[in-house]
A and B are shown apart, each in its own frame.
Chain A
Amino acid sequence: MANINRGKLKLYMGYAAGVGKTYKMLEDAQAYKSQGIDVVIGYFEPHGRQTTIEKTEGLETVPRAKVQYRGSLFEEMDTDAILARRPQLCLVDEFAHTNVPGCSRTKRWEDIEILRNAGIDVLTTMNIQHLESLNDQVWQIAGVRVRETIPDWVVQQADDVVIIDLTPRALLNRLERGVIYDREKVERALQNFFRESTLVALRELALRETAHELEHRAIKDEAAVTPKSSDQKQAKDHRILLLVTADPNTAMLIRRAKRVADFLGAECFAAAINNPGDLNGMTYQDREAIERHLNFARNMRIETRMLEGSDPAQTLMDFAHENHITQIFLARTRKRSYSLFWQAGLLQKIVRLARKMQVVIVSEHEPATE
């Protein structure tokens, strides 16, 4: 594992903008500073919120780096400058942020990794809707596809996760008083993430996820005495295999299967099937989609395989048997279009063949409508 001097990471989790994540992080930073700890602000997003800005008073800020992209100037965290400054503790807002192209690293969480590897403790913030494995549920709740996501395993690296809770009504009051966004943005915000039902549901997700993060840490800790040891053994015996296809629902399948695997502590594999005899069976687009899905699975830390065989269902089952798979995850296809027809047949065939293991057919969840 990582070196013993690796910096610690504390994550302030919220369910929407304006619940007070950054405020609480700054408040804690002030407390650390008064204990004599050398604190700097690595990246802070003020959003024009006065009470939050006041909390930065007396804290040193490392100036941001300027990055040229397509003729415009962007500002990002200056990781090198922070490393040179070598504080004990660094504050970095917005864990899930994607850097502008041209930076050394694509994602802010990668910059945070660099800081931690240099022995710097980090405080950071994120909202629940950016967690990769909840992407489909968030879409169902808010009707919005969140593009900027952070893999679950990265969040699991945090040493501590704290939820910043606020009732949705109080949050809506803040929004209406103009504390969170400018007037003109309020209307737009109320359309999606800030509808009361959405907020209540996201809050529930955040509470459950934070509880899960705590539980995950307790299970990881061998020394912890938990009464769940027998279950853990049983759950650990499970091995999950998911079938990667060109179907767009594969991304959802990967998220869902990985989430179940994580919750069960089970191993997770993803396999795609190539039929070498079927020369004109797969289009270039399909091939590319499969490659993209396999890559996505790898980013989620799932072991991937490209299997070859003329009978896809049988090929998958052979792999499952050889690898002692206990659960197969398949996606329900999105459309009943002709091009996907063979795949619907494949699903039935796998269900019929897999009579010794559990088969889970994952469905897309439609967003709720009022």
Chain B
Amino acid sequence: MRREIRRKTPDELLHEINPRNADLEGFLKIFLGYASGVGKSFRMLDEARRRKERGQDVIVGAVQPRVSPEVQRLLDKLEVMPLKTYSAGMAMDIEGIIRRRPAICIIDGLAYKNPPGLRNPTRWQDAQELVNAGIKVIGSVNIQYVEELRQQVEDITGKHVTETVPLSFIKSADEIEIVDAPPEEPIERSPEQQTKIETRQRQLSVLRELALILAADVVDYQLNDYLERHGIRQSFGAQERILVCITPRANAREMIEMARIIAERFHAEMTIAYVKQEGLSADDQAALEEKLALARSTVAQIEILDGEDAVEAILDYANSHAVTQLFIGHTQSIRGWPWSDPVEKLISRSHGMDLRIFPQ
């Protein structure tokens, strides 16, 4: 039940009140690495060892085919359920694990494909089944195996992978832990070694960045969940959220371009909104359509706001969606009463967020 809720957007979460009970339901923790050899398996199995020493019933459901001596030493202290041999190949013994009913099951390599003919095509689906059966699962995966990041990683490393885990599964995790220990290289080294290491480190640093942002996004999900469960309405602003308000006359190109750059640099979420207006002239309608087409060509979410008072509609949306940066266009005329000017109104009322006013 909770798993489905977790896949909803933060927006939908706001309408949900469902206190968790981690003891009765399954639980998923994922160790996320950015490359092989960063020590995910070790960290995960070390946690398994600590839990076992504290008296928890832990088994290992799947390990990598080849392990380092340190990992082997940890495995020697743990109960390992061997992979089961099916006619088409080996896979995790999911029936055996469910029969054994441990409190916690450790699953290395969540992206592995199962041999054809099994009820779940992939190992992460096996993991999901165990979670649904009420078993706590602790698993690990590298970002190169995250479906949505696969292409990006491939562009960096030049390596193609066919086994993947969907992002939605990672986001459904109750806990995520990033293993960010760059492989230790000797400090003193030859110049040739140095060049090779630097190239690899440049690649790794891009992968690390991808992994950190992914982990931050998952944590943001969890934060929204926590705030919701505790009835806290206010945003913490750890995630920047930009709201671009366009009108028929706005310089939408500059606004959207700036929003796109800031969103990219701050890894911010971006929404483009316009407030419905009655009686637009044909020219204005055409101008608005053009701006909306531009908006749709971006990754931004598009919102059409409704309200008698445009300023109220914008502020309502911004406040309820934890917007941290509000982008608006200058009003055309500098005549008129200051208090009737929407820009002036937004200046005096957009508390708790930055207001960016663009030239017309």
Indicate, yes or no, whether A interacts with B.
Answer: yes
**Which stretch (A27-35, A63-71, A107-115, A310-318) binds chain B?**
A27-35
Q: Provide the bound-state CA to CA distance between A359 and B330, in Å.
A: 10
Asked whether any CB of chain B lies closer than 8 Å to the CB of A289, the reply is no
Q: Do A218 and B202 contact each other (CB < 8 Å), given the known contacts A204-B239, A263-B262? A: yes
Asked whether any CB of chain A lies closer than 8 Å to the CB of B181, the reply is yes
Q: List 12 A-B contacts (CB under 8 A).
A: A89-B187, A137-B236, A167-B29, A200-B226, A214-B208, A221-B202, A226-B206, A228-B264, A263-B265, A348-B338, A361-B357, A368-B236
Size of the chain A interface, CB-CB below 8 angstroms: 69
Asked whether any CB of chain A lies closer than 8 Å to the CB of B179, the reply is yes
Q: Is the CB of A169 within 8 A of B359?
A: no
Q: Do A358 and B359 contact each other (CB < 8 Å), given the known contacts A140-B237, A218-B209? A: yes
CB distance from B353 to the nearest CB of A (A): 6
Q: Provide the bound-state CA to CA distance between A361 and B176, in Å.
A: 36
* Chain A residues close to B by CB (< 8 Å): 8, 24, 28, 31-32, 35, 37, 88-89, 121, 137, 140-141, 160, 162-167, 169, 196-197, 200-205, 207-208, 210-211, 214-215, 217-218, 221, 223-224, 226, 228, 231, 234-235, 256, 260, 263-264, 332, 347-348, 351-352, 355-366, 368-370
Could you say which residues of chain A place their CB within 8 Å of the CB of B182?
160, 162
Instruction: Give the residue name and chain of the A residue nearest to B220 (CB).
Output: A204
Q: Is the CB of B205 within 8 A of A218?
A: yes
Contact of A163 among B180, B258, B355 (CB under 8 A): B180
Q: Do A200 and B258 contact each other (CB < 8 Å), given the known contacts A208-B212, A347-B347, A358-B357? A: no
Q: Provide the bound-state CA to CA distance between A115 and B266, in Å.
A: 33
Q: Is the CB of B212 within 8 A of A211?
A: yes
Q: Do A231 and B356 contact each other (CB < 8 Å), given the known contacts A201-B236, A207-B215? A: no
Q: Is the CB of B347 within 8 A of A201?
A: no
CB distance from B30 to the nearest CB of A (A): 11
1/0 contact trace for B260-277 toward A, CB 8 Å? 011011110000000000
Could you say which residues of chain A place their CB within 8 Å of the CB of B179?
165
Contact of B234 among A37, A256, A360, A369 (CB under 8 A): A369
Q: Do A214 and B212 contact each other (CB < 8 Å), given the known contacts A137-B237, A234-B261? A: yes
What is the total of A-B residue contacts with beta carbons within 8 Å? Answer: 168
Contact of B184 among A31, A197, A205 (CB under 8 A): A31
Size of the chain B interface, CB-CB below 8 angstroms: 62
Q: Provide the bound-state CA to CA distance between A332 and B262, in Å.
A: 21
CB distance from B334 to the nearest CB of A (A): 6
Could you say which residues of chain A place their CB within 8 Å of the CB of B239?
204, 208
CB distance from A6 to the nearest CB of B (A): 13
Query: Chain B CB within 10 Å — which of A121, A165, A221, A362 has the most?
Result: A165
Q: Is the CB of A370 within 8 A of B232?
A: yes
Q: Provide the bound-state CA to CA distance between A168 and B177, in Å.
A: 10
Q: Is the CB of A137 within 8 A of B223?
A: no
Contact of B261 among A140, A196, A264, A332 (CB under 8 A): A264
Contact of B223 among A197, A348, A357, A365 (CB under 8 A): A197
CB distance from A256 to the nearest CB of B (A): 7
Q: Provide the bound-state CA to CA distance between A118 and B220, in Å.
A: 42
Could you say which residues of chain B place their CB within 8 Å of the CB of A362?
354
Q: Is the CB of A204 within 8 A of B178?
A: no
Q: Give the dominant DSSP class at B's interface.
A: mixed
Q: Provide the bound-state CA to CA distance between A63 and B151, in Å.
A: 52
Q: Is the CB of B236 within 8 A of A141?
A: yes
Could you say which residues of chain A place their CB within 8 Å of the CB of B89?
none
Q: Provide the bound-state CA to CA distance between A223 and B265, in Å.
A: 20
Q: Do A211 and B230 contact each other (CB < 8 Å), given the known contacts A162-B180, A218-B205, A218-B206? A: no
Query: Chain B CB within 10 Å — which of A32, A203, A214, A351 has the most?
Result: A214
Q: Is the CB of B354 within 8 A of A256?
A: yes
Could you say which residues of chain A place their CB within 8 Å of the CB of B180?
162-165, 210
Instruction: Give the residue name and chain of the A residue nearest to B236 (CB).
Output: A201
Q: Provide the bound-state CA to CA distance between A347 and B232, in Å.
A: 33
Q: Is the CB of A235 within 8 A of B265?
A: yes
Q: Provide the bound-state CA to CA distance between A167 and B43, in Å.
A: 13
Q: Provide the bound-state CA to CA distance between A171 and B159, in Å.
A: 36
Could you say which residues of chain B place their CB within 8 Å of the CB of A256?
354
Q: Is the CB of A363 within 8 A of B350?
A: yes
Contact of A211 among B187, B188, B257, B267 (CB under 8 A): B267
Q: Is the CB of B209 within 8 A of A215?
A: yes
CB distance from B35 to the nearest CB of A (A): 14
Could you say which residues of chain A place their CB within 8 Å of the CB of B334?
352, 355
Query: Chain A CB within 10 Å — which of B29, B175, B177, B205 has the most?
Result: B205
Asked whether any CB of chain A lies closer than 8 Å to the CB of B74, the reply is no
Could you say which residues of chain B place their CB within 8 Å of the CB of A31?
184
Asked whether any CB of chain A lies closer than 8 Å to the CB of B227, the reply is yes
Q: Is the CB of B181 within 8 A of A162?
A: yes
Q: Is the CB of A121 within 8 A of B355?
A: no
Q: Do A224 and B202 contact each other (CB < 8 Å), given the known contacts A360-B354, A368-B236, A369-B234? A: yes
Q: Is the CB of A35 within 8 A of B186?
A: yes
Q: Provide the bound-state CA to CA distance between A196 and B228, in Å.
A: 13
